[in-house]
Amino acid sequence: MSVRWPRILTPTFLSQIIRLQKNPFKALQIFNEAKTTYPKYHHNGPVYATMINILGKNGLFIEMKDVIKQMREDSCECKDSVFVSAIKMYAEAGLINEAISLYNNIPRFNCVNWTESFNSLLQIMVNENKLEAVHRLFLESSSGWEVKSRISSLNLLMDALCRKGRSDLALQIFQEMDFQGCYPNRDSYAILMKGLCKDGRFHEATHLLYSMFWRISQKGNGEDIVIYRTLLDALCDNGKIEEAVEILGKILRKGLKAPNRSRHRLDLSQCSNGQDKEGTKRLIHEALVSGSVPSLVSYNAMAVDLHNEGKIGEADKVITEMQERGFKPTPSIFEAKVAALCKESKVDEAIKVIEVDMVEANCLPTYRVHNIVLKGLCIEGKSTQALEYLNKISKQLGRTTDRESYGILLEMLCGERRYLEASQILEQMSIKSYWPCAYTYNSLIRGLCSLGRQYEAVMWLEEMISQGKLPETYLWNSLVSLFCKSDNIFMASQIFSRLRSL
């Protein structure tokens, strides 16, 4: 279909046109034709970002690289987000070297701040366990004025070292932060505290906690409870009950600024015998929440942290207490609880949390919460229930299902060889212009061929090709074989001709 060009072309209008294109090659053609059709027109940063995003999502990295090169040659002013997106798409495709090369070339572009690109690449390399390369990248990039904040990157380094059991090196980085012009934040303390406790370095962990009292806990912030709990639980697990109780008293006085009347009401005498470690830890958790100044932040932090550790019953007690004190559970608490229940294969209970507990608390479920449930149902092999759940959130709740929800179900149905139902899901996706990747198309079409569903297979093949996605060779073999078996030699010859034209 030809494009109806306007009398005057603006970058915003061009972005809208190329976003509407189903075929990324057609979008690229329109993008390139704009300059020849309008000699005075110039692409701006958002147009380049749109085109780069379309090509990267469709796996057209050669074309994406050409557009990035064109953006550099145009000396077009661009934002850091363009490179962040491209770097992440390269990494998802396993093209780590391309991501590194792009980052190294950012100084050649008209971009004045690439902090997020630096942090994104650092995170990717940490995930790939390339610690030496991470260290080298940090030394080369962290001192430049283009990287505005170093705290996130330093936290990444500390986290990587702690996961490797090298909290001693992470502690050195923490102590060097002042020389880097950084101020440790709550994440810095949380990362290092977990690492030190995991390695049994309780002396350093205790001093780290005391430094919190005068650096970030001066106002008794409720979020600090999670960091305090990390040390206290670790001490209890290692039989240091008396030390944990002593430190708890200092936390209540100096860290959480608990009123004297609250501290005097706490009965910690049961903690001293050390016979029941889990019971002692529960008492300490209650003391942290009840002994501090009641706040939504402290309850939220404790409940989410307990859910993340799978301690659902204990987290429920925190939720009950916060409600008794007049605080309402937050969406993040419910999300953490749903995730914890799904991890324990209690998906039905997770659904009840969404349909009952969240309704009573006037919390609107997010796509992310629904997708956690869908993934849980898929892991348990409850595809029929997953389909029913998708219809429920689409119709009964009056919500438009998002792309990820459809993708989860489509992948599950193909994995279970329920290709007809997968085809129906893809029809619903196509109405909303949600298109799967080439791998999913190949899997679905091949499955339809195995069922003898030739017309559905050809329909999705045409749709796949119209989006610029190339079928695998085995797919053509399956289609030709299917039509030959059905004595439809004419259709088989047409498919062969189509193959030769690609």
Q: How many C-beta neighbours within 10 Å does residue 211 have? A: 14
- In this structure, is the dihedral angle defined by the CA atoms of residues 210, 213, 214 and 216, taken in order, positive or negative? positive
Residue 498 lies in a domain: yes
| Confidence band for 483, pLDDT divided at 50, 70 and 90 | low
The pLDDT of residue 139 is 77
Does residue 59 carry a pLDDT above 70? yes
For the chain, give the mean pLDDT: 84
Contact indicator for 30, 4 with CB cutoff of 8 Å? no
For residue 310, pLDDT over 80 is answered with yes
Q: What pLDDT was estimated at residue 275?
A: 63
Mean pLDDT of 305-331: 89
Structural domain contains residue 278: no
Domain assignment of residue 474, yes or no: yes
3-class DSSP state of 58: coil
Among 182, 248, 169, residue whose Cα is nearest residue 215: 182
Number of independent structural domains in the chain: 1
Whether 29 contacts 67, CB under 8 Å = no
Residue 266 lies in a domain: no
Whether 67 has a pLDDT exceeding 90, the answer reads: yes
Collapsing DSSP to helix, strand or coil, 259 comes out as: coil
Lowest mean pLDDT among 107-111, 244-248, 495-499: 495-499
For the residues 7-34, what does the mean pLDDT come to? 91
Of the pLDDT bands very low, low, confident and very high (cuts 50, 70, 90), residue 494 is low
- Residue at 47 is within a domain: no
What is the C-alpha to C-alpha distance for residues 193 and 228, in angstroms, rounded to an integer? Answer: 9
Average pLDDT over residues 34-41: 90
**Does a structural domain hold residue 431?**
no
Q: Is 13 a domain residue?
A: no
- What was the pLDDT predicted at 265? 52
Note whether residue 464 is domain-resident: yes
Q: Which domain holds residue 455?
A: 437-502
Q: DSSP string spanning 16-40?
A: HHHHH-SSHHHHHHHHHHHHHH-TT
pLDDT-derived band at 412 (thresholds 50, 70, 90) equals confident
Q: Which of 77, 98, 147, 160 is nearest to 118 (CA)?
A: 147
User: Terminal CA-to-CA distance of the chain, rounded, Å?
Assistant: 19
Q: Determine the average pLDDT of the residues in 52-67.
A: 93
**Among 66, 75, 8, 73, residue whose Cα is nearest residue 37:** 8
pTM: 0.76
